[in-house]
Amino acid sequence: MSLKMERKGSEMFVDERRFATDRRPWFGQLPERIGKNFTFAVMGDRCGMALPGVFEKGLAILQDLKPDFVLFVGDLVEGYGMDSEEARNEWEYIDAQIAATGLPFFQTIGNHDFGTQTLVDVWRERKGIEYYAFRVGDVLFLILNTEDPFEELSDELIARVKLAAANIRRDPERASEYVKAFDDEVVASMSPDQLQDVGKARVGLGDEQLAFFENVLASNADAKYTFVSMHKPGWKSDSSSFARLREMIGSRPHTIFAGHFHSLEYSRTNEACQIQLGRTGAASHGEGKGDQNLLLWVSMRSGVPSIRVVHLDGITEPADYPPRHP
């Protein structure tokens, strides 16, 4: 286990023993002279079944607002069922959009990014490492891979995902109709036991990954606050590995960000805050306020976070307000 441990204003931690590569799943660098007070944004799922242009709108807004950096909770590409060249093409497009903002952008693996062996191979080719950590002043960030190992989907389910995604790309105005048809087909194919587990997440956190984060936490015991970014919400799973992670975090003040279910939910227990991100471009699976396209804005002030929800559909251009004529 190798950790880069100089104490600076910002630091990156990588499991160099497991990932012998210079590839990295983030864009840009953390500011070297960042202080105790800083801001960052958290973006939700772009996929599955992405609505064209929505994630890009979120990036454009953040480019104007200029947070110190951006966290993303996973599912940047549709992924499932593609061959290597298709996967590379999809990554080429979205990576270029992110790089063009000039913002430091820290990615978390989602099931759409890492859901088949082909996608795993392309990720490793382009991004290298699968989990990591960093520190900004007195604040520690853990970026997990909940697909360690990834969950195999049937060819039939992958075909349904691909069809729904293609329909939405072709006719985004009917997205809710295509999502409902997809959901109805999936539910109809499930057994009673499977239906009982619909709201649960299957979280995988391998032993090497947990050992890495145990080391990071021990080496940063003086951090005043800890953020965790994971794609699937571990608190909605029966995962013993997630339970072990929570034991490692212990009584540290912390917030866990997750995604996957495309709907914003917030809960708090003592010093622990859990936020399931809504979507930032992915298809909606509901009609409530938390199902809208959104992102989070986080302001850190002397080790204490203030979190605000920014609804993208409420942010418009001045040209949307033409003069009124009598």
Per-residue pLDDT tens over the stretch 185-227: 887 886 676 656 666 889 999 999 999 999 999 999 999 999 9
- The per-residue pLDDT for range 87-113, each reduced to its tens digit, is 999 999 999 999 999 999 999 999 999
Instruction: Note the pLDDT of residue 51.
Output: 95
- pLDDT over threshold 50, residue 5: no
- pLDDT over threshold 90, residue 42: yes
- From residue 314, alpha-carbon distances to 57, 78, 106, 174, 290 in Å are 12, 26, 25, 21, 13
DSSP state of 194: H
Encoded tokens for 52: 């064209």
Cα distance between residue 265 and residue 56, in whole Å: 23
From 111, 51, 122, select the one nearest 258 (Cα to Cα).
Answer: 111
Instruction: Note the pLDDT of residue 185.
Output: 85
- pLDDT over threshold 80, residue 125: yes
Cα distance between residue 222 and residue 231, in whole Å: 26
Instruction: Note the pLDDT of residue 8.
Output: 64
Matching residue, tokens 């600076």: 8
Mean pLDDT score of the chain, rounded to an integer?
Answer: 92
pTM of the model: 0.93
**Domain 10-313 CATH class label:** alpha beta
Cα distance between residue 133 and residue 10, in whole Å: 11
Instruction: Note the pLDDT of residue 155.
Output: 87
79 against 197, higher pLDDT: 79
Cα distance between residue 256 and residue 42, in whole Å: 11
From 140, 135, 132, select the one nearest 9 (Cα to Cα).
Answer: 135
- How many Cα neighbours within 13 Å face the side chain of 187? 9
Sheet containing 26-27: which strands, arranged edge to edge? 26-27, 105-107, 69-72, 38-43, 294-301, 304-311
Residue 115: partners with Cβ closer than 8 Å, 6 or more residues away: 79, 80, 147, 150, 151, 153
Instruction: Note the pLDDT of residue 188.
Output: 83
142 against 166, higher pLDDT: 142
- pLDDT over threshold 80, residue 250: yes
| Predicted confidence band of residue 17 (pLDDT cuts 50, 70, 90) | very high
CB–CB of 234/146 below 8 Å?
yes
* Number of CB atoms found within 10 A of residue 322's CB: 7
| Predicted confidence band of residue 82 (pLDDT cuts 50, 70, 90) | confident
